[in-house]
Structure 1
């Protein structure tokens, strides 16, 4: 197959633990041709004489290498319609900003023209990493989503020890632990909400974060039996690897499996083939649908090849197996 990867600029990729690079390498090892379409080049044009129209971009054909410092060779580069590809995987990092939504709208046009896109563009738009958990409230900690400052003050008063964070953002998102008696609590809430103009999330603090913020992968409706527990460094409340956390592979707990097996079939029906759940202790805190990490570390520590399993799932959907 000819597999395309819609990705942020390649220069921003950290090959040693980047899931997009892992997926590209897996695709090549399965015998497929690998192409990258960097998001700034995604375009659409009306069909007319002299131009086929539709969604097109600058397409880079790649040969992947095992060296993380020099991880690919450019085979060819040209502007062309995406319809020549058999399938496209979307590997765009948060935040879900205007350019992210524009990319999904353009890819939805390509999908309408017959291109298979994983995950489906509409599903990417409809599943905010943090807010999507509200659909599965039976698994979430005590949570408030608001930009109303009085509501936030009352929530902090009632819950005593809370986490405040934006509704979007990547691994280095600003996360604050706030106690009821903190003198700066109101100032932090005002800053995060831009004085009530930006919605944020407040959640009861979960001390289980000390055992790790667990990333659980779902592939084609199946639950990967291992998770990556991202353990915060000393003095941190964030477990993400970008914030200095340490990733430790571990088998799923019964509660992890309950959460994952409940969500997996529902998310697959919506066109979400690859999903990363975030679970702290017994609680669901995030649903990552655009570029879930953790697969490189899982393979290194557990031997489970999540990238290869994802490519195999795409092969089945495309009728190759």
Structure 2
């Protein structure tokens, strides 16, 4: 059965199609004969309690520079869609949260929203990993500079990061006795107003920060190891890390099997776990990536797994 698939995403004009997982989803939906509806960015709203958006028919092509064709926008009820893909990139700010509230209202009218808007509001991508502390590196989350300094002194080498960052931004590697530690903590904690995450440094990062993709709690057979380059310790592709597709390891699968049932129960259908060595560091629920890189290197398209699930669950 053909479905109406609406997508809430960042402007399609600016996506890099060779890397964009949302674009991979649109290509797969179109290949299966589903109708694509593009939600004009910023257009979600409510009309007497009815969720609406400016929607336009969309066609996509795997051709850089000519990758989409869009019809004219018309304001319509979101109930015109059978499925809404919520794929806006962070930050999870007030605007993002308000959009998830509108999408929750759409759910009450029978629209399937992926990922579940309640989960998108509740599941901070760094904090949620700590629902599974036995899987994580030693971690402290605090505004207290004294406690954070003591944590670094205890563990010798640590990573410090904000809770709302993405793409490797504002991540610091520090060592016991680092003369820059105080100013780093001042910058991240903003004088004690912001929480900071401190984690024990994992030397296995040299072998890659692995993105393990899950569909309805089940791991894809391949992950993407994002390997630091040069003198940068971060593996994020956005800061120059090299992506290498690999079969998932036994440790990756064990982590996925531990986390997957909780994600499935909360309606988090497409999730990216970040794994360094055998430790879970983040649970990415807003707009996980790496579909295109895995497909290019292995021929396995995780978007196929996703739409197999969507069709089975929506039909």
TM-score (norm 1): 0.95
Q: Secondary structure at the match of 2:132?
A: helix
**1:197 alignment counterpart:** 193
> Structure 2: how far apart are the matches of 1:94 and 1:13?
15
Q: Does 1:241 align with 2:243?
A: no
Whether 2:156 is the aligned partner of 1:160: answer yes
- 1:313: Cα distance to partner? 0.8
2:36 aligned to which of 30, 34, 40: 34
Q: Which of the numbers 166, 181, 186 marks the counterpart of 2:182? A: 186
Does residue 214 in structure 1 map to residue 213 in structure 2? Answer: no
User: What are the superposed Cα offsets for residues 187-226 of structure 1, whole Å, 9 maximum, x if unpaired?
Assistant: 1111111111110100011111111000001012211111
Report how far residue 172 of structure 1 moved: 4.0
Aligned equivalent of 1:20: 22
Residues 143-192 of structure 1 deviation map (CA, whole Å, 9 limit, x = unaligned): 00111111111111111100000111221421100111211111111111
**Quick check: 137-146 or 264-273, which moved more?**
264-273
2:127 to 128, 131, 145: 131
Native 8 Å contact 1:213 1:231 kept in 2: yes
SS of the residue aligned with 2:190?
coil
The total of aligned residue pairs comes to 313
2:14 is equivalent to residue 6 of structure 1: no
**Match in the other structure for 1:56:** 52
Q: What are the Cα deviations for residues 130-149 of structure 1, in whole angstroms up to 9, with x where unaligned?
A: 00011000100010011111
Do the aligned residues in 1 keep the contact of 2:30 with 2:36 (CA within 8 Å)? yes
Residues 175, 237 of structure 1: 8 Å contact kept: no
1:104 lines up with 2:104 in the alignment: no
The residue that corresponds to 1:261 in the other structure is 257
Q: Is the 8 A contact 2:17 2:62 kept in 1?
A: no
C-alpha distance in 1, partners of 2:22/2:132? 28
Deviating above 6 A after TM superposition, structure 1's stretches of 4 or more consecutive aligned residues are: none
What's the RMSD between the two structures over aligned residues? 1.1
Q: Does 1:83 align with 2:79?
A: yes
Unmatched segments (≥5 aa) in structure 1:
47-52
In structure 2, what is the equivalent of residue 292 of structure 1? 288
1:140 matched to 2:142? no
For the residues of structure 2 that align with 1:263 and 1:234, how far apart are their CA atoms?
Answer: 33
Secondary structure of the residue that 2:121 maps to in structure 1?
A: helix
* Consecutive unaligned residues in structure 2, runs of 5 or more: none
| Aligned twin of 1:310 | 306
